[in-house]
């Protein structure tokens, strides 16, 4: 069964450093998403991406964040200058069509020291 994969599973970084989180969505899916979940809190929407453009982004997704689909398979989330409060699980998801939720990857645990 096809699945969304994410690397790394755990990333530890120093405050102020740049990190790139990587995702390989399901191959025939056209819509891609990033969500995050701070420990003990709700899963929060960050950004959706379609046709090489951002479709929608939340207030959390400020200028420190960017997304890219550098090739036909990868989808990345970059945080330019990490803050302590960026520590969270980051989930990538993909879907075939708009409004169909999405299938989620296993997540990357980001720890900012």
Partner 1 sequence: EDQVTQSPEALRLQEGESSSLNCSYTVSGLRGLFWYRQDPGKGPEFLFTLYSAGEEKEKERLKATLTKKESFLHITAPKPEDSATYLCAATLVSKLIFGQGTTLQVKP
Least distance in Å: CB of 52 to partner 1?
15
Of 11-19, 42-50, 62-70, 75-83: span binding partner 1 (CB under 8 A) = 42-50
Question: CA torsion 22→27→33→35, rounded to 10°?
Answer: -60
Query: Is position 70 an interface residue for partner 1 (rule: CB under 8 A)?
Result: no
H/E segment holding residue 89: strand 88-95
CB atoms within 10 A of CB 5: 14
Least distance in Å: CB of 107 to partner 1?
5
Query: Is position 109 an interface residue for partner 1 (rule: CB under 8 A)?
Result: yes
């Amino acid at each position: 069964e096809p699945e969304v994969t994410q690397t790394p599973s755990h990333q530890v970084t120093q405050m102020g450093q740049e990190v790139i989180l990587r995702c390989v969505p399901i191959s025939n899916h056209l819509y891609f998403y990033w969500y995050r979940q701070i420990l003990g809190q709700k899963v929060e929407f960050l950004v959706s991406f379609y046709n090489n453009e951002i479709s929608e982004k939340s207030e959390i997704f400020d200028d420190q964040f960017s997304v890219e689909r550098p090739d036909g398979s990868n989808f990345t989330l970059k945080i330019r200058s990490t803050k302590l409060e960026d520590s969270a699980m980051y989930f990538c998801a993909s879907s075939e069509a708009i409004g169909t939720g999405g299938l989620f990857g296993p997540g990357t645990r980001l720890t900012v020291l």
